[in-house]
Amino acid sequence: MCFLLGIDIGTTGTKAVLITEKGKLVAKATAEYPLLTPKPTWAEQPPSDWWVATMKVISKITRGSTAKARQIKGIGLSGQMHGSVFLDEKNRVIRPAILWCDQRTQSECDEITSTIGFKRLLELTCNPALTGFTAPKVLWLRNHEPRHWDKVRRILLPKDYIRFLLTGEFATEVSDASGTLLFDVKNRRWSDTVLRELHIPTEFLPQSYESFEVSGRISRRAAEETGLVEGTPVVGGGGDQAAGAVGNGIVERGIISSVIGTSGVLFAFSEQPEYDAEGRLHTFCHAVPNKWHMMGVTLAAGGSFRWLRDTLCQEEVTLAHRKKVDPYELMTAKAMKVSAGSEGLIFLPYMIGERTPYPDPNARGVFLGLTLRHSKAHLIRSVMEGVTFSVRDSLEIMRSLKIPVREIRASGGGGKSKLWRQLQADVFNAEVVTTNIDEGPAFGVALLAAVGAGIYSSVEEACKATIRVSTKTSPHVANAQLYDEYYDVYRSLYPLLKEKFRQLAVLP
């Protein structure tokens, strides 16, 4: 029997899964690390944390299963997108990586838009300049830390730094590269035009592969450090959203995914590199060869829920520890006792700025409608509803662009939670389904490794052989009607508060 290993370098931890060629989960492991915020709205991590975590999860996987390292026929890598790892001439990390949720680069976004032009940038990269993307981070380093910029010889994305340590190769793949704003998404290659006009040396960037292609092999040094077998192939893999879409079977038109993880993402498969002329949605290369996807992103979806847990729900955390259950289970149990609409309480989940449909780093979280009647349970449900409204923002844009929506597949925390599945069905006024797979991007890149190893002839074949619908949740008619009214109030709030957010951002 042969096995495939998938590794996902996430924002709060690294996850690995080991599966059989039929997609059966054999073992899984996670290792957490902190998210550093040296200043408000900044987000960084030392890449060494990812490597330590990667070695831990590989060790747990190999020790926790009967599979032998020599039976692992392929490895896939996924990871948080847009992060920037800067290496010097000796391939040493120069400074902590600046992450996808970092908001420091608005002036660099303005600089890019001014240099290239809004419409021209969309034509070249299919995307506008947003604070989360990689290119503004590169310019920020050049503008604000010139002593570090002078040392830069390589720029890598998070999972690709781990690839370098595993294989010695500087490589990326098309789905993750799409989120740099330096990539010609239509033609699936680095954009010579953007690189030239932004004065970023082409040689700083790694070679780009399709997601299923072998990009390197486990080196002797990595084999000694991890226990993997030297020469094991490592495929391109995928950015977390494209990889998660593969792991959820989003490989045909009409099936979209709603992922509520740290961020919230609505993801639609596309046969062509179409893009939103207003730049509200992202268009990236899919992990499926010669296919693309469009997606909308709310930055602090599960992140808002985690904030609520950490700041107001320590009682639930303590009780969960004693009962040996997830604190979120106790939180959602309380939320289920509150009626739809949280009795007039609305939450805006802009805890670290926002991306879709408002690319505004100054946006902030808001509770509107608090009264003496509201309890912690109301706050919990309101946060869940507000996050779901934010995902609906992306759905409404897709509907306006006539993107077919035949089936919505929920995953992440929003797929595991029965309440959150029902909230999505009610707020979207559409049936929401889940699949038999809930291992996310790590499972997706394990499937890509299976294609790269020749076990399957295509990504589509791999998904068809391993993924099937397992649950269906239909909307409650009365709740769907009520949420339409609440959503009208929700979407009216940002325009009213935009200027106040800006004023708050400059106050000491």
pLDDT per position as a tens digit, 413-429: 889 999 999 999 999 99
User: Structure tokens of 109?
Assistant: 């976004």
Q: Do 108 and 143 have their domain in common? A: yes
Q: Do 491 and 375 have their domain in common? A: yes
In a domain, 158, yes or no: yes
Tell me the sheet residues that pair with 84. Answer: 98
Q: Do 375 and 237 have their domain in common? A: no
- What confidence tier does 469 reach under pLDDT thresholds 50, 70, 90? very high
Q: How far apart are CA 352 and CA 360, in angstroms?
A: 9
Are the CB atoms for 351 and 307 separated by under 8 Å?
yes
pLDDT per position as a tens digit, 324-380: 999 999 999 999 999 999 999 999 999 999 999 999 999 999 999 999 999 999 999
Tell me the sheet residues that pair with 351. Answer: 353
Q: Do 206 and 323 have their domain in common? A: no
Q: Do 334 and 449 have their domain in common? A: no
Region 474-485: mean pLDDT is: 98
In a domain, 257, yes or no: no
In a domain, 153, yes or no: yes
pLDDT per position as a tens digit, 73-121: 999 999 999 999 999 999 999 999 999 999 999 999 999 999 999 999 9
Per annotation, catalytic residue among 160, 176, 184, 240: 240
Are the CB atoms for 440 and 2 separated by under 8 Å?
no
In a domain, 268, yes or no: no
Q: Do 26 and 175 have their domain in common? A: yes
Stated as kind and residue range, the H or E segment containing 106 is: helix 106-116
User: What does residue 153 show for φ and ψ, rounded to 5 degrees?
Assistant: -130, -15
In a domain, 261, yes or no: no
End-to-end CA distance of the chain: give it in Å, rounded: 61
Domain count of the chain?
A: 2
Q: Do 49 and 155 have their domain in common? A: yes
Q: Do 236 and 322 have their domain in common? A: no
- What confidence tier does 25 reach under pLDDT thresholds 50, 70, 90? very high
With b meaning 16 or more CB within 10 Å and e meaning fewer, what string describes 180-217?
Answer: bbbbbbbebebbeebbebbebeeebbbebbbbbbbbbb
In a domain, 38, yes or no: yes
In a domain, 165, yes or no: yes
With b meaning 16 or more CB within 10 Å and e meaning fewer, what string describes 245-276?
Answer: bbbbbbbeeebbbbbbbbbbbbbbbbeebbbb
Q: Write out the DSSP string of 209-265.
A: E-TTSEEEE--HHHHHHH-PPTT-EEE--EEHHHHHHHHTT--STTEEEEEESSSEE
The CATH number linked to 366 is: 3.30.420.40
Are the CB atoms for 100 and 85 separated by under 8 Å?
no
Q: Do 446 and 492 have their domain in common? A: no
Domain extent, residue 43, equals: 3-248+438-467
Q: Do 318 and 241 have their domain in common? A: no
pTM confidence score: 0.91
Contacts of 365 (CB under 8 A, 6+ apart): 300, 304, 347, 348, 349, 350, 351
pLDDT per position as a tens digit, 220-260: 999 999 999 999 999 999 999 999 999 999 999 999 999 99
Specify whether 240 is catalytic.
yes
What was the pLDDT predicted at 394? 97
In a domain, 49, yes or no: yes
Q: Do 101 and 218 have their domain in common? A: yes
Q: Do 361 and 483 have their domain in common? A: yes
Percentage with pLDDT > 90 across the chain: 94
